């Protein structure tokens, strides 16, 4: 009698002490930091710009206007096709509007950020799950493959892949197979962006696979997995329903922290002329242009450099904050 009344009392008290799930808890702690809120707002703005660049741009990004080359920020076009146009951020060596190019460059960086992360996440997570949950022999083979590719310096492999893919794009269309032509068409329609994804995605999943596998190795020894096995759950169900939810948290954090490196890799490829194809603007190629005119027109490099750094900062800061918010050791401190 006594215990049952105690239970009813506890049950009655329960609704007042609202329990929060892990994610609600995490989100609440995230939004407590004003810098995190600013980062999220900034990234949201970038995503909106990337989705609707034409709304924000004031001129076509490829429109040249030679009389206004190296125009200073705030200058007004005196003639040519862009007459009366204000160069908010100046004009580059071909008289193209830097502000509009920056806006369209956002599209490239955001696409690389999210698609690169998506590709690496999907491949890496499933590869790591399968390797970690498979028999040791299979696991060993799968992870040795990762180790071997890992000995290849990633940037070198990306450059090599990118050279290979761009060479593919320049081949005579008559000699291409159906798959090849599809890939090349995709690449052309995205201004050379598609092959950048492919090169970055092909390499970036390695880290994710390693991390996931390590997590799986840790969890698969635990009772809840053994219980599921005893009940007779299929391997697919155990991986998808029991292991994945436990593994995914650290993977999301790692992926958020990896996004700046994708953005940077694309920028660097474009910086050395191996990234997106001109006239498609990328922050990296704009930095490269600006670096060439550093002495005479330093504002050319200022704006894309700022955009690149701020974006990387926002992702880094957000990734850090998510990690801290998810870390149970830091709770209530």
Partner 1 sequence: MLRLIIRRFFWFIPVFFVVTGITFLTMHSLPGGPFDTDKTPPALVKQMENAFGLNRPVYEQYFIWLKNAVQLDFGPSLKQRGKPVASFLLPGLAVSAQLGTFAMLFALLIGLPAGIIAALYRGRWQDRSATLVAILGVSVPPIVMGPLLVWLFALQLDWLPVAQWSSLDDGLLPYLSHIILPAVTLGAGLSAIIARLTRASLLQVLGEDYIRTAHAKGLARHTVTIRHALRNALIPVVTYLGPLAAAVLTGSLVVEQIFALPGMGRYFVSSITSRDYPMVMAVVVIYAFIIVFVNLVVDVLYLFIDPRIDHAH
Q: What is the SS3 assignment for 104?
A: helix
**C-alpha separations of 31 from 9, 199, 321 in Å:** 34, 35, 10
E strand or H helix at 76, and its extent? Answer: strand 75-76
- In the bound state with partner 1, the residue whose beta carbon lies nearer, of 118 and 298, is 298
Near partner 1 by CB under 8 A: residue from 290, 299, 325, 326: 290
CB 104 within 8 Å of CB 88: no
Q: What track of x and - describes contact with partner 1 for positions 246 through 265 (by CB under 8 A)?
A: --------------x---x-
Give the range of 49-57, 61-69, 212-220, 307-315 binding partner 1 by CB under 8 A: 307-315
Minimum CB separation of residue 262 from partner 1 in Å reads 12
Determine if 140 is a binding residue for partner 1 (CB under 8 A).
no
Q: What does the H/E/C string look like for 204-244?
A: HHHHHHHHHHHHHHHHCCCHHHHHHHHHCCCHHHHHHHHHH
DSSP state, 59?
Answer: S
**Rounded to an integer, what distance in angstroms lies between the CA atom of residue 273 and that of residue 199?**
15
Residues with Cβ < 8 Å from 290, sequence gap 6 or more? 92, 297, 298, 299, 300, 301, 302, 304, 305
Near partner 1 by CB under 8 A: residue from 52, 58, 298, 331: 298
Place of tokens 């090599």: 160
- In the bound state with partner 1, the residue whose beta carbon lies nearer, of 68 and 324, is 324
- In the bound state with partner 1, the residue whose beta carbon lies nearer, of 206 and 280, is 206
Minimum CB separation of residue 118 from partner 1 in Å reads 22
**C-alpha separations of 239 from 88, 112, 131, 223, 245 in Å:** 53, 29, 11, 14, 9
Near partner 1 by CB under 8 A: residue from 20, 32, 81, 171: 171
Minimum CB separation of residue 42 from partner 1 in Å reads 13
Minimum CB separation of residue 133 from partner 1 in Å reads 22
Near partner 1 by CB under 8 A: residue from 124, 192, 201, 284: 284
**C-alpha separations of 61 from 52, 97, 187, 279 in Å:** 14, 7, 19, 8
Determine if 70 is a binding residue for partner 1 (CB under 8 A).
no
- In the bound state with partner 1, the residue whose beta carbon lies nearer, of 203 and 216, is 203
Determine if 295 is a binding residue for partner 1 (CB under 8 A).
yes
Minimum CB separation of residue 320 from partner 1 in Å reads 7
E strand or H helix at 145, and its extent? Answer: helix 136-150
Residues at the contact surface with partner 1, assessed by CB under 8 A: 144, 147-149, 151-157, 159-161, 163-164, 167, 170-171, 260, 264, 267-268, 271-272, 284, 287-288, 290-291, 294-295, 298, 301, 305, 308-310, 312-313, 316-317, 320
């Amino acid at each position: 009698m006594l215990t049952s009344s105690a239970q009813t009392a506890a049950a009655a008290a329960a609704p007042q002490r609202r329990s929060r799930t892990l994610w609600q808890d995490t989100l609440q702690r995230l939004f407590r930091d004003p810098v995190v809120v600013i980062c999220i707002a900034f990234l949201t703005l970038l995503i909106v710009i990337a989705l609707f660049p034409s709304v924000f741009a004031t001129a076509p990004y490829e429109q040249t206007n030679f009389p206004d080359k190296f125009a200073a920020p705030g200058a007004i076009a005196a003639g040519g096709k862009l007459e009366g146009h204000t160069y908010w951020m100046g004009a580059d060596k071909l008289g193209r509007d830097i502000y509009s190019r920056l806006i369209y460059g956002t599209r490239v960086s955001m696409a690389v950020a999210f698609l690169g992360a998506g590709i690496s996440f999907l491949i890496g997570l499933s590869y790591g799950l399968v390797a970690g949950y498979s028999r040791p022999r299979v696991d060993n083979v799968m992870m040795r493959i990762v180790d071997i590719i890992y000995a290849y310096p990633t940037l070198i492999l990306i450059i090599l892949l990118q050279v290979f893919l761009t060479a593919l794009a320049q081949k005579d269309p008559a000699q291409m197979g159906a798959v090849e032509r599809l890939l090349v068409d995709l690449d052309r329609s995205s201004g050379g962006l598609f092959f950048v994804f492919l090169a970055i995605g092909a390499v970036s999943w390695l880290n994710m696979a390693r991390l996931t596998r390590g997590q799986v190795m840790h969890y698969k020894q635990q009772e809840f997995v053994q219980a599921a096995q005893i009940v007779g759950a299929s391997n697919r169900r155990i991986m998808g329903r029991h292991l994945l939810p436990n593994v995914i948290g650290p993977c999301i954090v790692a992926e958020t922290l990896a996004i700046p490196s994708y953005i940077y890799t694309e920028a660097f490829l474009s910086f050395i002329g191996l990234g997106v194809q001109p006239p498609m603007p990328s922050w990296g190629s704009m930095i490269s242009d600006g670096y060439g005119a550093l002495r005479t027109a330093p504002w050319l490099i200022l704006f894309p450099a700022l955009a690149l750094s701020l974006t990387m900062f926002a992702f880094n800061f957000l990734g850090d904050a998510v990690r801290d918010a998810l870390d149970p050791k830091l709770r209530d401190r």
